Chains A and B, each alone.
Chain A
Amino acid sequence: MSHISPKSTYYAIFGALMALTALTVYVAFQHLGWLNFPVAITIALIKASLVVLFFMHVKYSSKLTKLLVASTFFFLASLFGLTMTDYMSRGWFTSPRGTTTAGMLPKLQAAELPVASEQALANPGPLFEATCGSCHSFTTKTAPTLAEINQLYGAKHDIESMVTWAKAPQRKRMRFEPMPSFAHLGDARLHALANYMLQQAAQTPPQ
C-alpha cells in the first residue's frame, strides 16, 4: 500500500543517529563560547529530521502530510517568538543589556540613590549591598568573588581601573552573566564603592 523502505535504510539511519548522539556529547565539551547552544540545537534538529523523514515515513508521505508536519515549525516559532520578544524586551528601557539582566532589575531599581552626601560616601556599606554586593560577595558563583577582585586590583590599589570597568563592563567569562553598567552611580560613589570593596576583601580572609 505505502512505501516499504529496505531494512538497510533503517540501520543506516540508526547508525547516523548514534553518531550524532556521540557528536553532540563531544561538542558539548569543546569551548565554543556562545556557539555551544546553537550547535547542540542544530544537531538535535538534524536527528529529529532523520527520525521524521525515515522512521516516520514523511519522506514518502503525501504533500498534505508534509505541509502539516512542516507547520509544526510555524506554531513553535509563534510560541517562542511571541514569548521571547515580550520577555526579552522588558528590560530595555532601563538597561540596553536588559536581555540578560532583566532578572536583576527589580533589585537595582530598588536601590534608589540617596543624595551623594559626604556621610553616605564615608559609609558605602548599604549602597554596596544594594548594588555590587548583590553579585560580588565572597561565596558568590554568579560573578567573580570579592577575593578574586582583590587579586586583580588589590596589589596596585587600582581604583581607577575598577571605576572604568564598572562604568563600561565587558564580559570576560562566559559562565557569568554580563555585568550591567553602573555609570549612573556617578564617579564619586563608584570611587567610594571600589575603595570599600578592596577594604572588605583585605579585611576578611577568603575562605
Chain B
Amino acid sequence: MPDALAAHAEAHGHSHGHAAHHPDLQHHFETLEQQHEASTLGMWIFIIQEVMFFGGLLAAYMLYRIWYPTAWSEGSAELNIQLGGLNTVVLIGSSLTMALAVRSAQTGKQKALIGFLVATMALGLVFLVVKGFEYHDKWVLHHVPGLNFKLEEGQVPQIAIFLSLYFALTGLHALHMVIGFGIMSVILWMAWRKRFNPEWYTPVEMAGLYWHFVDIVWIFLFPLLYLVDRAHQVQ
C-alpha cells in the first residue's frame, strides 16, 4: 500500500483533479481511517487539557469547600435549582441532538444533519439565555463579588468565595458555550455547502466531541454548585 501511494503521489505530483483517492484525504495520511484516528487523538488531547483547565478551578473549589462548609451550604442555597436543573436538561438535550447530527453525517442524511445542528445551536442559545437570567438575578440580589456584593445579616463572609468560584466556573463554561456556538455555525455552513459525506465527516464529529465535553463540565457543575448540603437546609 505505501508503495502504491508513493507511486501515485509521483504520478500526479500534487496536482489534483484525479480520482485516485478521496478528495478529503490529505497526502500525509495513508487512509481516511488513519486520518480520522489522528484527528480523534488530537481532539482528545485538547479535551484533556481543557479538563485540567477546569480542574484547577475545581481544586480551588474543593479546598475552600472543605475549609468553609457553612459558606458552601449557605452560598448554594442562594442559587436557583429550577433554573440550574432546566439548564441541565437543555444541555443534555443538546448533546442528544449533537450525537444525532453526527449520526446523520455518518449515514449521509443531509437534511437531518442541518436540522440537528440547528437544534443543537438553538438549545445552546436557550442555555445561555437562562444563564443570563440567573446572572441578572445575582446582580439584583447584590451577589456578585468584586462588583456589587453585599453580605446579608448573619451570613458568613466566605460566601463571597463560593460566589466568586460560581461565577468563575459558570462564566468559563458559558464562554465555552459561546465558542461552541461559533464552531457549530462553521459546521452548519459547511453542511449547507454539502461538504460532508459518509466517508468524511470528521469536522462534525470533532465539533461534537467539544460540545459533549462542555456538556460534561455542566454535569459536574450542577451538583457541585446548586446541590450543596440541600438536605440540611430544608429543616
Would A141 and B219 count as touching, CB distance under 8 A? no
Q: Answer yes or no: B85 CB below 8 A from chain A CBs.
A: yes
Considering the complex, which residues of chain A in the window 41-88 have a beta carbon less than 8 Å from any beta carbon of chain B? 41, 43-44, 47-48, 51-52, 54-57, 61-62, 64-65, 68-69, 71-72, 75-76, 79-80, 83-84, 87-88
Would B212 and A1 count as touching, CB distance under 8 A? no
**Tally of contact residues, B, Cβ under 8 A:** 64
Would B219 and A48 count as touching, CB distance under 8 A? yes
| Surface stretch bound by A, among B45-53, B137-145, B185-193 | B45-53
Would B234 and A68 count as touching, CB distance under 8 A? no
Q: Answer yes or no: A159 CB below 8 A from chain B CBs.
A: no
Would B92 and A17 count as touching, CB distance under 8 A? yes
Would B51 and A139 count as touching, CB distance under 8 A? no
Would B92 and A25 count as touching, CB distance under 8 A? no
Q: Answer yes or no: A176 CB below 8 A from chain B CBs.
A: yes
Q: Which residues of B contact A55 (CB under 8 A)?
A: 95-96, 98-99, 208, 212, 215
The distance in angstroms between the C-alpha atoms of A14 and B103, with both chains bound, is 15
The distance in angstroms between the C-alpha atoms of A176 and B47, with both chains bound, is 38
Q: Answer yes or no: B68 CB below 8 A from chain A CBs.
A: yes
Would A71 and B66 count as touching, CB distance under 8 A? no
Would B74 and A52 count as touching, CB distance under 8 A? no
Q: Answer yes or no: A28 CB below 8 A from chain B CBs.
A: yes
Task: Decide yes or no: A10 and B99 within 8 Å by CB, A68-B45, A175-B229 being known contacts.
Answer: yes
The distance in angstroms between the C-alpha atoms of A189 and B232, with both chains bound, is 34
Q: Answer yes or no: A121 CB below 8 A from chain B CBs.
A: no
Task: Decide yes or no: A100 and B52 within 8 Å by CB, A18-B92, A55-B212 being known contacts.
Answer: no
CB distance from B35 to the nearest CB of A (A): 10
Q: Answer yes or no: A184 CB below 8 A from chain B CBs.
A: no
**Tally of contact residues, A, Cβ under 8 A:** 60
Would B51 and A7 count as touching, CB distance under 8 A? no
Q: Which residues of B contact A32 (CB under 8 A)?
A: 231
Nearest A-chain residue to B198, judged by Cβ = A1
Would B51 and A64 count as touching, CB distance under 8 A? no
Which of A54, A57, A139 has the most B CB atoms < 10 Å from its CB? A57
DSSP class of B's interface residues: helix, strand, loop or mixed?
helix
Would B40 and A65 count as touching, CB distance under 8 A? yes
Would B107 and A102 count as touching, CB distance under 8 A? no
Q: Answer yes or no: B33 CB below 8 A from chain A CBs.
A: yes
Considering the complex, which residues of chain B in the window 62-106 have a beta carbon less than 8 Å from any beta carbon of chain A? 62-63, 66-70, 73-74, 81, 85, 88-89, 92-93, 95-96, 98-100, 103, 106
Which of A1, A61, A177 has the most B CB atoms < 10 Å from its CB? A1
Would A84 and B63 count as touching, CB distance under 8 A? yes
Find A48's partner among B32, B41, B216 (CB 8 Å cutoff): B216
Task: Decide yes or no: A14 and B227 within 8 Å by CB, A2-B36, A83-B63, A141-B70 being known contacts.
Answer: no
Would B41 and A72 count as touching, CB distance under 8 A? no
Q: Beyond A11-B96, A100-B66: 5 further Cβ-contacts under 8 Å?
A: A17-B95, A21-B222, A31-B232, A65-B40, A80-B58
**Which residues of B does A touch, CB under 8 Å?**
32-33, 36-37, 40-41, 44-45, 47-48, 51-52, 55-56, 58-59, 62-63, 66-70, 73-74, 81, 85, 88-89, 92-93, 95-96, 98-100, 103, 106-107, 153-156, 198-199, 205, 208-209, 212-213, 215-216, 219-220, 222-224, 227, 229-234
**Which residues of A does B touch, CB under 8 Å?**
1-2, 4-5, 7, 10-11, 13-14, 17-18, 21, 24-25, 28-32, 36, 40-41, 43-44, 47-48, 51-52, 54-57, 61-62, 64-65, 68-69, 71-72, 75-76, 79-80, 83-84, 87-88, 99-100, 102-103, 139-142, 174-177
